[in-house]
């Protein structure tokens, strides 16, 4: 209904996004011997000391907390790679660089629980923060370009947490433009109480805005 | 389903064979969370996950008796807890939606067919209770012509007092494979080229079919 806040605007809580990210696969180097784990979410191991193996992040963190493994920093979380990404982010003001969909959550979890396994942790952390800032600035300035001519937005390489943050703004903006542009609304502009049920599923003519 | 998309179905079931049920449930959960209306209940999937949960619970009991390493037990417990969370959240989410749109849902056969048996019962009783409550507390005290649960007044030409989900809203979605040029409206003036593994913000109504056929995921 018009004018009412829509609870669907914030769909996932940050902890739910983190929950999803915890299923991302990382490499761990165990220091214990343990049989394979046949879990509901998949089969992992067997684990042998010093032999790297792939496990979901939550399992890696659980083992790490108990001092049973070291977590291998993902390839993209190195100073070299992140410096490149940051530069590229700064050079292309309308594009996002490819990073893991959950790069914010993964890096946060690793910093919280496996800081000692990350080389140049301090630098890596500040690089990721810079990348986040640059990207978020792009998201914000991208919002300004939405107009009544936008019926679809393409956000290549935007990450999960970024989606979650921008979702309420993006959805409300698009909805507002869509509503005010629809032929029905223009006819009954003062009838704010009625639900807009367009007769045909036809929005106003708009261009696809690419980023 | 018509026959022309049998290939798609075969392809998607082949891809699903490679993913775990937890992965599928997570997808169902995300789609359900992000879509404004209630989606089809993943009945076989939910019963499979339930079975696996039960099996693991039994295994954990056995572990306790046979003195398996505490570490291993706690890891399995975490796996169990995560799956339980996902399942509970999925079921609760649906109940919330049903409660919110109880009247709307219980009046449409299409929507009712998307629910599980228990959900259908819940939807109906929810709508009944709400109607009864409104009747007793307000409507019975209103003058003739304004005492309908579903209409503002006799002059309303349609049921304008039944809350419905807003299908015109925009959703974030990710393509799984190339969809190609996709028509967003009825008359073909808005066309978007949906490329694999890309992120879009689109109107829910126009991509509904793609979600149902599993070609696009809401995020």
Residue B147 domain flag: no
B190·A205 Cβ contact <8 A: yes
Query: Do residues A36 and A44 lie in contact, with contact meaning Cβ atoms separated by under 8 Å?
Result: yes
Asked whether residue B17 carries a pLDDT value surpassing 70, the answer given is no
**Kind plus residue range of the DSSP H or E element containing A25:** strand A25-30
Chain A residues in contact with B190 by the CB 8 A cut-off are 151-152, 203, 205-206, 208
Provide the domain count of chain B. Answer: 1
Measure in Å the smallest separation between the Cα of A51 and chain B Cα atoms.
18
Q: State how far the Cα of A81 lies from the Cα of B75, in Å rounded to an integer.
A: 33
Question: Stretch B56-72: mean pLDDT, rounded?
Answer: 91
- DSSP-derived 3-state class of residue B55: helix
Q: Which of residues 130-159 of B touch A (CB under 8 A)?
A: none
A175·B169 Cβ contact <8 A: yes
pLDDT at res. A1: 36
First to last CA, chain B: 26
Query: Do residues A206 and A150 lie in contact, with contact meaning Cβ atoms separated by under 8 Å?
Result: yes
ipTM of this complex: 0.84
pLDDT at res. A201: 42
Q: How confident is the model at residue B88 (pLDDT cuts 50, 70, 90)?
A: very high
Range of the structural domain that residue B187 is part of: 166-219
Task: Give the DSSP per-residue string, A82-131.
Answer: HHHHHHHHHH-TT-PPP--TTHHHHHHHHHHH-GGGSTTHHHHHHHHHHH
A41·B20 Cβ contact <8 A: yes
pLDDT at res. A192: 44
pLDDT at res. B185: 73
Question: Stretch B107-112: mean pLDDT, rounded?
Answer: 92
Q: State how far the Cα of B153 lies from the Cα of B148, in Å rounded to an integer.
A: 7
A202·B75 Cβ contact <8 A: no
Q: How confident is the model at residue B161 (pLDDT cuts 50, 70, 90)?
A: confident
Range of the structural domain that residue A84 is part of: 1-18+75-211
Provide the domain count of chain A. Answer: 1
pLDDT at res. B86: 96
Question: CB distance from B59 to chain A under 8 Å?
Answer: no
Q: State how far the Cα of A65 lies from the Cα of A20, in Å rounded to an integer.
A: 20
- DSSP-derived 3-state class of residue B72: helix
Residue B198 domain flag: yes
Residue B191 domain flag: yes
The backbone torsions φ and ψ at residue A109, rounded to the nearest 5 degrees and listed phi first, read -60, -40
Asked whether residue B2 carries a pLDDT value surpassing 50, the answer given is no
Residue B46 domain flag: no
Asked whether residue B9 carries a pLDDT value surpassing 50, the answer given is no
Residue B48 domain flag: no
Question: CB distance from B170 to chain A under 8 Å?
Answer: yes
The whole-chain average pLDDT of chain B stands at: 87
Q: Percentage of chain B with pLDDT > 70?
A: 90
Query: Do residues B49 and B21 lie in contact, with contact meaning Cβ atoms separated by under 8 Å?
Result: yes
Residue B188 domain flag: yes
- DSSP-derived 3-state class of residue A151: strand
The CATH number of residue B177's host domain is 3.40.5.60
Tokens found for residue B8: 């798609």
Query: Do residues A117 and A68 lie in contact, with contact meaning Cβ atoms separated by under 8 Å?
Result: no
Place of tokens 């109940």: B95
**Kind plus residue range of the DSSP H or E element containing B52:** helix B43-66
pLDDT in tens, B25-60: 999 999 999 999 999 999 999 999 999 999 999 999
Residue B180 domain flag: yes
Residue B212 domain flag: yes
pLDDT at res. A144: 85
Low-confidence spans in chain A with pLDDT less than 70: 1-10, 183-211
DSSP state at residue B155: T
Residue A50 domain flag: no
Chain A residues in contact with B78 by the CB 8 A cut-off are 58-59, 62
Tokens found for residue A60: 């890696």
């Amino acid at each position: 209904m018009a004018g009412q806040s829509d609870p669907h605007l914030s769909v996932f809580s940050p902890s739910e996004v983190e929950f999803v990210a915890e299923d991302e696969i990382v490499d761990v180097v165990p220091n214990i011997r343990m049989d394979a784990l046949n879990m509901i979410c998949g089969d992992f191991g067997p684990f042998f000391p010093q032999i790297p193996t792939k496990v979901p992040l939550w399992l890696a963190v659980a083992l790490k907390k108990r001092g049973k493994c070291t977590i291998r920093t993902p390839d993209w979380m190195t100073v070299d790679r992140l410096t490149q990404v940051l530069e590229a982010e700064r050079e292309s003001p309308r594009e996002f660089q490819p990073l893991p969909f959950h790069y914010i959550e993964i890096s946060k979890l690793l910093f919280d629980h496996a800081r000692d396994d990350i080389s140049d942790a301090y630098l890596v952390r500040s690089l990721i923060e810079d990348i986040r800032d640059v990207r978020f600035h792009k998201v914000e300035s991208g919002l300004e370009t939405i107009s009544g001519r936008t019926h679809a937005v393409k956000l290549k390489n935007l990450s999960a947490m970024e989606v979650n943050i921008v979702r309420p703004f993006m959805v409300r903006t698009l909805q507002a433009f869509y509503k005010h542009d629809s032929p029905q609304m223009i006819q009954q502009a003062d009838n704010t109480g009625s639900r807009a049920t367009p007769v045909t599923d036809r929005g106003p003519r708009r261009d696809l805005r690419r980023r | 389903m018509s026959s022309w998309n049998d290939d798609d179905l075969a392809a998607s079931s082949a891809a699903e064979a490679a993913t775990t049920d937890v992965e599928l449930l997570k997808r169902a959960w995300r789609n359900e969370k992000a879509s404004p209306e209630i989606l089809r209940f993943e009945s076989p999937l939910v019963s499979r996950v339930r079975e696996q949960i039960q099996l693991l619970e039994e295994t954990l009991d056995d572990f306790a008796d046979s003195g398996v390493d505490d570490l291993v037990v706690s890891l399995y417990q975490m796996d169990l807890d995560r799956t339980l969370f996902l399942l509970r959240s999925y079921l609760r989410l649906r109940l919330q939606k049903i409660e919110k749109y109880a009247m709307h849902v219980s009046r449409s056969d299409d929507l009712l067919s998307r629910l599980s048996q228990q959900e259908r019962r819940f939807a109906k009783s929810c709508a009944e209770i709400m109607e009864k409550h409104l009747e007793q507390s307000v409507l019975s005290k209103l003058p003739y012509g304004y005492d309908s649960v579903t209409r503002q007044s006799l002059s309303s030409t349609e049921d304008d007092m039944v809350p419905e989900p807003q299908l015109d809203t925009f959703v974030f979605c990710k393509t799984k494979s190339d969809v190609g040029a996709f028509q967003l409206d009825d008359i073909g003036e808005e066309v978007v080229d949906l490329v694999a593994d890309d992120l879009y913000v689109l109107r829910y109504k126009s991509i509904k079919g793609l979600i149902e056929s599993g070609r696009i995921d809401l995020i």
